[in-house]
């Protein structure tokens, strides 16, 4: 195996360590990958939800997505690193299984997710009724760790599912990637929203300041996605995401508009009110139902576990946000740079307001009209 260093200039740079385990991983990644197996040098962090463990896991997983500009791509399949990652994963998966417990029947889990609680008080409620623009910016920075690669973790399921669930999943994912219009991919809409709120939409830009509870949400998806043995859990995670998205997206669209978002700064969430109302139906009726009717290689209990594990990670993230915001503190590991002053940019390319959309046609979540990735705001590098 070649040890020649390969550059990956389109990717972010490695973040700073958050403890001895992540420090060992990050130090190693700065070197060429080894060609021989060696025993992992450290004990796994005691807290699988903690900063050290979650950052190390996130960095290991990121090698399977965009990688890092300062890391040799060959690290992706380095046996020593995979062994190290495996120890982190086993600890994290054990924590998820322990905290989820024995899942209720899948029908009950899905019904519970479909029922919007009348007394909800999560982050979207807070942002709608009491949130500040700075808190909205924090929320986007947290979520950028997933939404700038939206739908990618679930693509790992495609080769692992039988037909017809496979075909249904691909049809659904086609929408996530823009339904044939790359500029309409949901990740691109999220990038446009970040720019509208004075954030840098470059991939990985805020990883250094995103804390463990937000990383754990993404790591749950990647854990399920990268292990064929967890494919049923990934289906459950996807179902939970799509089912719970529309009401939260509606609140966030209204919240971001209240906090000064332009049409391009709310389109991502407005789009998901429509799209995920369809997607949650598709994932339940065209992905899960055929899986349950077919050979028993995607057990209902494991789909339920995936949905509940993802909900658990989301609940922990929500608790983190609300604890910080209600105490008047920043929810990130460091405050965001100040938002640039409103520029004079009357002709900046933007996305049309959804109310102007001329045609919803046959696919409710297909978008129309011109779009373009906005220029980066004048914000300094994080390191
Ligand atoms: Fe989406
Ligand atoms: Fe969706």
The confidence score (pLDDT) of residue 129 equals: 97
The confidence score (pLDDT) of residue 56 equals: 98
Mean pLDDT of 126-132: 97
| CA of 11 relative to ligand 1 center, distance in Å | 22
CA distances in angstroms from 370 to 72, 182, 350, 351, 357, listed in the order given: 37, 11, 8, 6, 11
pLDDT band at 296 (very low <50, low <70, confident <90, very high): confident
The domains found in the chain, sorted by start residue, are 20-98 (no CATH), 104-356 (1.20.910.10)
Ligand nearest to the CA of 176: 1
How many beta carbons lie within 10 A of that of residue 290, not counting itself?
Answer: 18
- Reply yes or no on whether the pLDDT at 383 is more than 90: no
Ligand nearest to the CA of 276: 2
| CA of 275 relative to ligand 2 center, distance in Å | 6
pLDDT in tens, 4-21: 456 566 799 999 999 999
Ligand nearest to the CA of 278: 2
Mean pLDDT of 268-273: 96
pLDDT band at 370 (very low <50, low <70, confident <90, very high): very low
The confidence score (pLDDT) of residue 347 equals: 39
Q: Which residues, other chains included, contact 198 with Cβ-Cβ below 8 Å and sequence gap of 6+?
A: 137, 339, 340, 377, 379
| CA of 84 relative to ligand 1 center, distance in Å | 32
Mean pLDDT of 105-119: 94
The confidence score (pLDDT) of residue 116 equals: 87
Residues 39 and 76 sit within 8 Å (Cβ to Cβ)? no
Mean pLDDT of the chain: 88
pLDDT band at 119 (very low <50, low <70, confident <90, very high): confident
| CA of 190 relative to ligand 2 center, distance in Å | 13
| CA of 365 relative to ligand 1 center, distance in Å | 9
The confidence score (pLDDT) of residue 318 equals: 98
In this prediction the pTM is 0.88
| CA of 88 relative to ligand 1 center, distance in Å | 28
| In the block, residue with structure tokens 């609300």 | 322
pLDDT in tens, 162-221: 999 999 999 999 999 999 999 999 999 999 999 999 999 999 999 999 999 999 999 999
Ligand nearest to the CA of 246: 2
Helices (H), the chain: 20-29, 51-62, 79-100, 106-114, 123-129, 133-147, 152-155, 165-176, 186-196, 212-225, 231-258, 267-282, 289-293, 300-326
- Reply yes or no on whether the pLDDT at 44 is more than 50: yes
Q: Which residues surround ligand 2, an ion (CB under 5 A)?
A: 276, 279
- Reply yes or no on whether the pLDDT at 352 is more than 60: no
């Amino acid at each position: 195996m070649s040890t020649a260093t390969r550059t990956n200039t389109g990717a972010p740079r490695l973040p700073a360590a958050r403890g001895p385990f992540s420090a060992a991983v990050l130090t190693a990644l700065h070197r060429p990958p080894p060609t021989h197996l060696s025993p992992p040098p450290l004990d796994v962090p005691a807290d699988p939800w903690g900063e050290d463990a979650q950052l190390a896991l996130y960095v290991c997983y990121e090698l399977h997505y965009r990688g890092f500009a300062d890391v040799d791509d060959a690290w992706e399949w380095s046996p020593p690193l995979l062994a190290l990652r495996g120890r982190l994963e086993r600890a994290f998966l054990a924590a998820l299984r322990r905290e989820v417990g024995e899942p209720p029947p899948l029908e009950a889990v899905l019904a519970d997710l479909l029922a919007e609680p009348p007394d909800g008080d999560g982050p979207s409620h807070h942002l709608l009724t009491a949130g500040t623009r700075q808190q909205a910016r924090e929320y986007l920075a947290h979520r950028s760790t997933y939404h700038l690669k939206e739908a990618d973790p679930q693509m790992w399921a495609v080769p692992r599912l039988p037909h017809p669930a496979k075909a249904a999943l691909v049809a659904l994912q086609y929408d996530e990637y823009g339904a044939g219009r790359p500029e309409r991919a949901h990740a691109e809409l999220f990038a446009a929203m970040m720019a509208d709120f004075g954030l840098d939409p470059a991939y990985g830009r805020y990883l250094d300041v995103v804390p463990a509870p937000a990383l754990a949400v993404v790591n749950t998806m990647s854990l399920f996605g990268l292990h064929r043995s967890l494919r049923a859990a990934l289906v459950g995670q996807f179902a939970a995401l799509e089912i719970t998205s529309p009401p939260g997206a509606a609140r966030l669209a209204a919240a971001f508009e209240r906090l000064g978002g332009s049409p391009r700064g709310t389109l991502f969430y407005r789009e998901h009110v429509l799209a995920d109302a369809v997607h949650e139906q598709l994932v339940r009726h065209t992905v899960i139902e055929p899986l349950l009717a077919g050979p028993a290689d995607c057990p209902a209990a494991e789909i339920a576990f995936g949905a509940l594990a993802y909900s658990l990670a989301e609940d922990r993230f929500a608790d983190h946000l609300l604890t910080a915001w209600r105490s008047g503190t920043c929810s990130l590991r460091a405050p965001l740079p100040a938002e640039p002053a409103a520029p004079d940019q009357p002709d900046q390319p933007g996305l049309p307001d959804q109310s102007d959309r001329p045609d919803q046609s046959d696919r409710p979540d297909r978008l129309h009209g011109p779009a373009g990735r906005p220029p980066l705001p004048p914000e300094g590098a994080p390191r």
